[in-house]
Amino acid sequence: MEKKYTLVVFTEDKVGLLNRITIVFTRRHINIDSLTTSESEIHGIFRYTIVAKATPEMMKKVVDQIEKLTEVLRAFYYEAQDVVTQELALYKISTANITPMESLIRESSVRILDIEKEFIIIEKTGSRQEVLTLFEQLKPYGILQFACSGQVAVTKPMKELETYLKELNQAVEASNKIRSWKLKN
């Protein structure tokens, strides 16, 4: 049975890698619901957060394929209960009906970013549902523009990235020793 998974992929910073990662999903006919990229807690290592629906077996195969890419350091997939997620949305709203909208803005835990004569720009950070609920509530007041980030996530059960990198280096060193030994014999 398909369910929503959050994939976290740690990579080197290489041109074209995002395309190669998304091709893995395309080949398996898996639609990506959300994708964000950013630098990780370790300088020079990037983090891709990808949300997609699939079966557990399909997700395992996707992660295995992604980890085969040379520039990928590690890839993981998590169910909803194993991650803390947020999205950021920006709303540009007409100020024509600002008075009835004021209480909604105050009650919605939004941040006002810019106020102009014709419009106001606010920011909402929260779950996908919170962002969309506010969108629906603001519709009657005249949304001029709306933009929403993809999901960003931090995981609950994960070791520190540095621990995985040390394990990866140890595995590479062991593999190199075995290869060297085989060449000698």
Local structure of 5: helix, strand or coil? strand
Considering the domain 84-148, what is its CATH architecture?
2-Layer Sandwich (3.30)
Torsion of Cα atoms, 35 then 37 then 40 then 44, to 10° = 140
Please tell me the predicted confidence (pLDDT) of residue 167. 64
Closest Cα partner for 150 from 8, 1, 3?
A: 8
Below-70 pLDDT ranges, the chain:
157-185
Do residues 75 and 67 make contact, with C-beta atoms less than 8 angstroms apart? yes
Please give the CATH number for the structural domain made up of 1-78: 3.30.70.260
pTM attached to this predicted model: 0.77
Topology agreement, domain 1-78 and domain 84-148 = yes
pLDDT in tens, 101-150: 888 888 888 999 999 999 999 999 999 999 999 999 999 988 999 999 98
Please tell me the predicted confidence (pLDDT) of residue 165. 64
Q: What tokens appear for 64 in the block? A: 């295995």
H-helix or E-strand containing 125? strand 119-126
Domain-wise residue ranges, the chain? 1-78, 84-148
H-helix or E-strand containing 68? none
